[in-house]
Structure 1
């Protein structure tokens, strides 16, 4: 007879729509970093991501969301930048709320795993 093993359930969440994956943890981290740094450039650097890739992700999310998640600020004396919109902040909050509920459910189900 084998010893009593402990299993766990790992869960990754993606919010999808007709065109495919819309929001996952990587994009949430990008949004958070934009909110923290006030810049797509600095957010990309924090994540060791190419600016072009970060910019494309932001453009895609903005286009596919009901309203833009990131507002780009035009340059000028203080330079440009970017900020999260109310919709962007709500997207982050909603993603984490859903993720927590699903992970809590998975954790409860772990107790019933026997193979």
Structure 2
């Protein structure tokens, strides 16, 4: 199935993309960075780094963390984090609806099977 994956580049270092939004959504669902990372087949360290980087990108935090104790830590989306996810998904849906006809046309012309690509040299 053809997809459009939206990426918003604020500048050379700061961007929002599909993977980061998915990680935020999963943190919201699971209440845990570790569980969200596991659901994405990502290391906890990588997920924590991405969320720390993502959290520092905006003036308002996207997630709130409770540090581990006996039962481990927890994380939840802030109202701003939930709104960012909502806005991103809304833009993504609008982009898909705007480009539905051209995408359908492109799909009609796709080869049934991907052709082998010859390597140069």
Measured against the shorter chain, the TM-score band is 0.7 to 0.9
Mapped contact 1:30–1:44 kept (Cα < 8 A): yes
Aligned length: 108
2:119 maps to what in 1?
none
Give 5+ residue unaligned stretches, structure 1.
Answer: 1-7
**Correspondence 1:101 to 2:102:** no
| CA apart distance, 1:65 | 1.6
User: Whose relative contact order is higher, 1 or 2, with alpha carbons under 8 Å and at least 6 apart?
Assistant: 1
**Cα distance in structure 1, aligned partners of 2:101 and 2:9:** 25
Higher strand share: 1
Deviation of 1:66 (Å): 2.8
TM-score by length of structure 1 reads: 0.80
Structure 2 regions of 5+ residues with no counterpart? Answer: 110-121
In the alignment, which residue of structure 2 is the partner of 1:3?
none
TM-score by length of 2: 0.76
**1:3-24 Cα distance to aligned partner (Å, 9 max, x none):** xxxxx97532101112335211
